[in-house]
Chain A
Amino acid sequence: MTVERDVMEYDVVVVGAGPAGLSAACRLKQKAAEAGTEINVCVVEKGSEVGAHILSGAVFEPRALDELFPDWKAKGAPLNVPVVRDDIYFFTSETAAVKTPNLFVPKTMHNEGNYIISAGNLCRWLAAQAEELGVEIYPGFAAQEAIVDEQNVVRGIVVGDLGINREGEHKDDYTPGMELRAKYTLFAEGCRGHLGKRLIAQYDLASEADPQHYAIGVKEIWEIPADKHVPGLVVHGAGWPLNSENPGGSFLYHFENNQILVGLIVDLAYSNPYLSPFDEFQRFKHHPVIKQYLDGGKRLAYGARAIVKGGINSLPKLVFPGGALVGDDAGMLNFAKIKGNHTAMKSGMLAAEAIAEKLAAGSEGGDVLDNYPAMFKDSWLYDELYRARNFGPAMHKFGTLVGAGLNYIDQNWFGGKAPWTLHDRVPDHTTLKLAADSQKIDYPKPDGKLSFDKLSSVFLSSTNHEEDQPVHLQLKDPSVPIAKNLPMYDEPAQRYCPAGVYEVVGDGDAKRFQINAQNCVHCKTCDIKDPAQNINWVAPEGGGGPNYANM
């Protein structure tokens, strides 16, 4: 069945209203204004509003924002809480911890001059700036596919078919989507973008890079008693409840309004299939160092999102005919700092400058934006990512302690320019041990005060999906979960999914793999960690997914 779709033409279409996409859109308009020309820019966002799907820490480095809007303060950007102190702990057991003396903290973990922010609110503000500059932003519309013509050139995207039922048939209210065609299309979908993933494969963009690496971050917002709240205090941690084979780290930021932003980041190269990042986080909150702040407080919000952490060694080629990858869709995050907001913004700005340059030279689009990688190479962004290149691999190769030592030497003695480059060529979905060779983990029961169960947590993400639509978590082979993953790894999806989407139900031969797609919070972990790479995350109907506030 061919579908007639309306078509709109733009100079630039941006997929995703995160820091990367919005910065790109703003920069394009600024460049056009400087040159006294018009560049029309459209941004689509799968969240029901800008910010609804944004989840970050976040300690924010304002470097890129300073460049994009030097007058951000006057314009009311939501950077209200400067970092006042950095505490770093190594958790040695469930009750003990050592505070790292300042002297031994790698430079990259110092946060003077940075702010504790809600990245979602930063995006809401950036969207307002973009609209003021004339950018059209359409939240509630997911880019479903890239339009690729016979010459293998990306010509735009298809958005928003609505009203298709679970079986894939048109319902009464079926509404065909639209083609948004563009001279250049920027993909800014964030970590593990589903179109980005396809484009990387289709154009073989990652052939010269190390495999990409990921982590999952589980985060909550708490309101705590005022007398325990130290606005601007940053607390990072490593160690318990994780370990060298299942590494990760934690954060706890004292934000505004007596709020605390607390989370656990679990490396997706973990090896024990019984591990559940959600439950690790729940028990982590009982550690005395963390509990001291949360006791007597109230949990306000919950969410989870994957983090791209391969850095420069894993960076794919950034461009293909007619478009480019920016932000975490490309993998621009600096994992030595666990910061990707400023790098996402900068990469978006660079791509925008590259496009503006092409358009000013009279380009009709559809060509390769080769000036973008060149500008990237010359930028502080490249320099920053280059300096951080050994961080992740050192942790994977030598474990948290020795890895941290090496990183200390690399960052503080060599400024990140140590004469070695470590590589990590083992993809995260291959690191699981067999269930038979692994130790089961007995997670403590949630106490309903500091720790909670999955369902009541997912409830706080305010996630929702129209029920009667095709399941957006596609199994390439529906038999794999029960026939292979279950006997081999006790189907780890039951545990790595932070929203309880995957369940194995029934007994004996009647065992069945159930997908509760409405619960999905769009973290992308299943797409990354499934050992058989059998789960394909695709965009659901626009507007579906979490409704995060202040995340």
Chain B
Amino acid sequence: MKALVSVKRVVDYNVRVQVKSDGSGVVTDGVKHSMNPFDEIAMEEAVRLKEKGKVTEIVAVTIGGAKNEETLRTALAFGADRAIHVKEEGEVQPLTAAKALAAVLKKEDAKLFICGKQAIDDDANQTGQMVAALLDIAQATFASKVEIEGDKAKVTREVDAGLETIEVDLPAVVTTDLRLNEPRYLKLPDIMKAKKKPIDATSFGDLGVTPGAGFKVTKTTPPPTRSKGVMVKTVDELVSALKGKGLL
């Protein structure tokens, strides 16, 4: 069984994101980027399924500019067998991404599509669901456990009330939650080998996708800064401080 995993290049989670002074977005120039952490979990899951003999081939796909090749090399170092680069230098909104990924999924005829539940840059949490809808296939979102049995997938989901286990028919879309697994360290020999694995380039045009603007970002603002805390030594001080603020 073939698995397709989508991986997105985002500003690294360690970076303190700065809002541009004109409010048009956040600063990305010269800033460290890496693979979206939820996509790392997706890659790890695919590799584990392959190690268990459930998956035979892993294809990684990304959408974006030339620098995204780095993200694909990371996916290849994780254990993807080959990679597809949908080249697009411009902005890509979730629906456009979903259309492109659906086209790739169809073309590759993969039975399992794994992606992160959301990307940490825009936190949209839409792409996986939309891919499933576009292709009219099953979806199992926020997965914290994935088991493949024949042509079905048993997926445990993290929901408000606790855990929910569902069974879906393949082909299906699975989106990963934080607790699904802990991605492995990449080994230097694997990173070296990844440099030699094949990457196929394609484009929205090749895939028959017309990028559209579903929405426009009108303003970006940083979160309000928290005012400084006051250290209190005794309960009395605490009480009077709270009273002073009119909270008691």
Which A residues contact B (CB, under 8 angstroms)?
A: 6, 8, 48-49, 51-52, 118, 120-121, 124, 136, 138, 140-141, 159-160, 162-163, 173, 175, 177-178, 223, 258, 298, 300, 448, 459-460, 462-464, 547, 549-550
Knowing A136-B195, A173-B182, A460-B16, say if A547 contacts B188 (CB, 8 Å): no
CA distance A140 to B15 in the complex (A): 16
User: Which 6 residue pairs spanning A and B have beta carbons closest together?
Assistant: A550-B30, A162-B185, A549-B31, A549-B30, A464-B14, A178-B188
Mostly helix, strand, loop or mixed at chain B's interface? loop
B184: CB under 8 A from chain A?
A: yes
Which residues of B are found within 8 Å of A121, using beta-carbon distances? 30
Q: Are B191 and A300 in contact (CB under 8 A)?
A: no
Which residues of A are found within 8 Å of B188, using beta-carbon distances? 6, 138, 141, 159-160, 177-178
Q: Are B192 and A462 in contact (CB under 8 A)?
A: no
B32: CB under 8 A from chain A?
A: yes
Mostly helix, strand, loop or mixed at chain A's interface? mixed
Starting from the known contacts A136-B195, A178-B189, 4 additional A-B residue pairs (CB-CB under 8 Å) come to A140-B186, A175-B185, A462-B16, A549-B29
CA distance A448 to B228 in the complex (A): 10
Instruction: Digitize B225-243: 1 where CB-to-A-CB distance is under 8 Å, 0 elsewhere.
Output: 0001000000000000000
Q: Are B184 and A173 in contact (CB under 8 A)?
A: yes
Which residues of B are found within 8 Å of A549, using beta-carbon distances? 15, 27, 29-32
CB of B181 to closest CB in A, whole Å? 11
CA distance A550 to B30 in the complex (A): 6
Q: Are B14 and A547 in contact (CB under 8 A)?
A: yes
28 A-B residue pairs with CB within 8 Å: A6-B187, A6-B188, A8-B192, A51-B30, A118-B30, A121-B30, A124-B30, A136-B195, A138-B191, A138-B192, A159-B188, A160-B188, A162-B185, A163-B185, A173-B185, A175-B184, A178-B189, A223-B21, A298-B21, A448-B228, A460-B16, A462-B14, A462-B16, A547-B12, A547-B14, A549-B29, A549-B32, A550-B30
CB of A126 to closest CB in B, whole Å? 14
Residues in B43-89 with C-beta less than 8 Å from chain A: none
Which residues of B are found within 8 Å of A462, using beta-carbon distances? 12, 14-16, 32
Contact of B15 among A6, A163, A547 (CB under 8 A): A547
CA distance A122 to B192 in the complex (A): 25
B221: CB under 8 A from chain A?
A: no
Instruction: Digitize B12-41: 1 where CB-to-A-CB distance is under 8 Å, 0 elsewhere.
Output: 101110100100000101111010000000
Q: Are A136 and B192 in contact (CB under 8 A)?
A: yes
CB of A219 to closest CB in B, whole Å? 15
CA distance A141 to B30 in the complex (A): 21
CB of A471 to closest CB in B, whole Å? 19
Q: Which of B15, B29, B30, B34 is the most central at the interface, judged by chain A CB atoms within 10 Å of its CB?
A: B30
Which residues of A are found within 8 Å of B29, using beta-carbon distances? 549-550
CA distance A8 to B15 in the complex (A): 33
Which residues of B are found within 8 Å of A124, using beta-carbon distances? 30
Contact of B32 among A49, A298, A459 (CB under 8 A): A49
Q: Which of B12, B29, B188 is the most central at the interface, judged by chain A CB atoms within 10 Å of its CB?
A: B188
Which residues of A are found within 8 Å of B12, using beta-carbon distances? 48, 462, 547
Residues in B208-238 with C-beta less than 8 Å from chain A: 228
Which residues of B are found within 8 Å of A177, using beta-carbon distances? 188
Q: Are B187 and A175 in contact (CB under 8 A)?
A: yes
Which residues of A are found within 8 Å of B15, using beta-carbon distances? 462, 547, 549
Which residues of B are found within 8 Å of A51, using beta-carbon distances? 30
